Structure 1
């Protein structure tokens, strides 16, 4: 039975006052990030003392879609889909059975910059699964008959691509044309054109020690060094062409009721000093509601609501930071007939957002919550340090990132907003885009 004294207003009020007077601080005691550049030029990054019983290791290569050529468009996506197939030492059945026997998860992801292989298992079992994990990276054989059998699954994956991702992909195409503008998705015409020889050549060219990052959470650097030795990756330095922002308008009509529109301008790279200010501006414009079924506090949504469009809509600011460039803008989903009014209101807000000290303070608090939530999740933390290491070649401790966000001023956010407003915009449209206006009319 609960003590009746806990229900008295006096104690409740005292407790509230104690919370108010207590200073809230962030402790990075268990999130110390360690890194080391090995003799083969591979970068290893670890958070060994993170409180988790699950060991997670990722092996990442700078081999994303920006490194593709027109003739092998989509090959990084096909390599991702082909992970876990027969290697020169183990069959697909052996890999799946042995990893499943120890309760391990083996996943592969790809984006514009990277291809990442990740294994997760209880720390006591992880070492046992590393044999098959390493084979699946460095000894891939891409048997022709297995690639043929895998085509149906790849076709199914293409059908599941969300329309909002299609819009963002088209916006990148409009913004960059090539390298960062290369599609992240495998075009259907290349599904049967890309064969074993193409995949083996791409892996040999890009899966090299100087383009590799090995990262972990809950596992120490020494283990990662052994992983690098067992991978025995070749050396083959090759750099991607520098991204150049052009701007433009690319759209694709589809039989949908809704229009999915991405409007972006040139942003900044991950290592740019203004990166923190752009991150705050993103939350100031709005990342959606933080309360279920609630209305976003962002100024983008508020501005569209004032335009009195007749149907429901959803909008979120987007901020992409790459190794040498970036995009900043918004992603909008609305009824096709209302797209003109909604886009006009959103673009007007993007070019001249309402920036106040109150809005900046609110955005910084929401951004800090997102960052600290990431640091508490071992899987999210692994993704964060992996991507940062891949695009910058180094990783900052979370407390430094917190400090950078807290030091962002009103002037910094205003400078970031002006940077976007003064640059040419790009538009990617997908779905019911008949009524979607072109950029030159906005």
Structure 2
């Protein structure tokens, strides 16, 4: 349950050895990315020449859960769930009918840092669909009766949240307490409390031109500039963002489930950190599952748990979260046996003292490069990639530079990254059958 490979940041300073020999990076020519800062402070990022007949445009705001006040917990989740409701110019029926008639796909996603609105359509129909897309982004009304009618669907969405994501959410709470520790899910106590006025105020405060990134694949930067003009977003009055601080802790929630979901993390690095590529390699060295269907993973985590002779079934994967000003690194473990402490102890020992050899680093780098290159072939994943890079760094690195960053990672770089995690205070988020799960300080 880790972030996409393409969300893994690159080294801000690439060492010379990345280009010193005939490496993979020299044989790759990525899509040209256009980047432009508009007069209203909106950042525009476009990949117009990507070979696709589908045009994709995203409008992203720095308005994720980290910017929520304690009283408005979960409001970004509610805004996402309320996308597509009536605007000041069109009804919900009109938006759905016209976008459906054009064969367009309209979706909204949110995370700890952003809320992103995306439209996808055949290039011939994209321009016609932009009218309703732009209205849905900048002219939302959040009518009280529509929000009331939408409550049952929101409740249903909350019931469908996988337990492993709940564990990861609790791990963030344990690690940061606030900011990045704010839950990305709407708590039940705020479902009926947050109304139209709360949503309109949050949008007015955070949906501003200087907090917006407009990105696209198959559409040029000039078109995105016109989109920005039609959005007509105001500028924010002041910057109220607070830098995230890592604390470390233990947060768990017992549920009547047969499986324990345990997320254990230490302090990682931010997107722009010079060690970010080394952490990405370390993630694959610890293991992200098997590369062969029904096979056993090669990573340190799975191998160590297997050697501990646990009696229950388990699944484990390394996780690496990189945010704009901080990061988390660790693992997610699902275990359905009675001795979860035994499996947890083996995984924690792997995290604190991973087996780092030249062969293991080479394997991890190859798996990371394969994931990086295969994902970059998808236009939808490319859009996510350039958007994420623009959000946290204000620029986009070409694929050849991403590859060079991975190739330049040495075994010493990986050991340094592993040492940083080992010396960090660990945090645990537990969900499900956690009655017999030991606390980290007892391992």
TM-score (norm 2): 0.94
- Which has the higher Rg, Structure 1 or Structure 2? 1
Which residue does 1:93 correspond to in 2?
A: 93
Gaps of 5+ in 2: 1-21
Gaps of 5+ in 1: 1-21
Alignment of 1:241-252 (within 5 A): 241-252=242-253
Which residue does 2:43 correspond to in 1?
A: 43
Query: How far apart, CA to CA, are the structure 2 residues paired with 1:330 and 1:24?
Result: 29
| Distance apart, 1:28 and its partner CA | 5.0
| Distance apart, 1:338 and its partner CA | 2.3
Alignment of 1:256-335 (within 5 A): 256-335=257-336
Write the deviation string for residues 192-231 of structure 1: whole angstroms up to 9, x where unpaired: 0000000000000000000000000111000100000000
| Distance apart, 1:55 and its partner CA | 0.4
Which residue does 2:211 correspond to in 1?
A: 211
2:437 corresponds to 1:436? yes
Query: How far apart, CA to CA, are the structure 1 residues paired with 2:54 and 2:185?
Result: 31
Write the deviation string for residues 142-164 of structure 1: whole angstroms up to 9, x where unpaired: 00000000000000000000000
Query: How far apart, CA to CA, are the structure 2 residues paired with 1:29 and 1:101?
Result: 37
Query: How far apart, CA to CA, are the structure 2 residues paired with 1:350 and 1:150?
Result: 43
| Distance apart, 1:58 and its partner CA | 0.3
2:308 alignment partner, SS class:
coil
Which residue does 1:376 correspond to in 2?
A: 377
Which residue does 2:174 correspond to in 1?
A: 174
Contact 1:336 1:435 in 2 (8 A): no
| Distance apart, 1:375 and its partner CA | 1.1
| Distance apart, 1:239 and its partner CA | 3.7
Query: Is 328-337 or 133-142 further displaced after alignment?
Result: 328-337
Give me the CA root mean square deviation.
1.2
Which residue does 1:19 correspond to in 2?
A: none
Query: How far apart, CA to CA, are the structure 1 residues paired with 2:337 and 2:198?
Result: 40
Contact 1:58 1:216 in 2 (8 A): yes
| Distance apart, 1:362 and its partner CA | 0.4
Write the deviation string for residues 292-315 of structure 1: whole angstroms up to 9, x where unpaired: 111111111000000000121000
Query: How far apart, CA to CA, are the structure 2 residues paired with 1:418 and 1:233?
Result: 45
Contact 1:41 1:210 in 2 (8 A): yes
TM-score (norm 1): 0.94
2:148 corresponds to 1:155? no
1:376 alignment partner, SS class:
coil
| Distance apart, 1:291 and its partner CA | 1.1
Greater relative contact order (Cα < 8 A, sep 6+) = 2
Which residue does 2:406 correspond to in 1?
A: 405
Query: How far apart, CA to CA, are the structure 1 residues paired with 2:389 and 2:333?
Result: 27
Which structure 1 residue ranges, 4+ long, deviate > 3 Å from structure 2? 22-30
| Distance apart, 1:111 and its partner CA | 0.1
Write the deviation string for residues 388-419 of structure 1: whole angstroms up to 9, x where unpaired: 11122221111111100000000000000000
| Distance apart, 1:131 and its partner CA | 0.4
Query: How far apart, CA to CA, are the structure 2 residues paired with 1:28 and 1:65?
Result: 37
Contact 1:263 1:427 in 2 (8 A): yes
Query: How far apart, CA to CA, are the structure 1 residues paired with 2:251 and 2:217?
Result: 40
1:23–1:231 CA distance, 2 compared to 1 (3 A): closer
Query: How far apart, CA to CA, are the structure 1 residues paired with 2:264 and 2:60?
Result: 30
Q: How many residues align?
A: 421
Query: Is 24-33 or 352-361 further displaced after alignment?
Result: 24-33
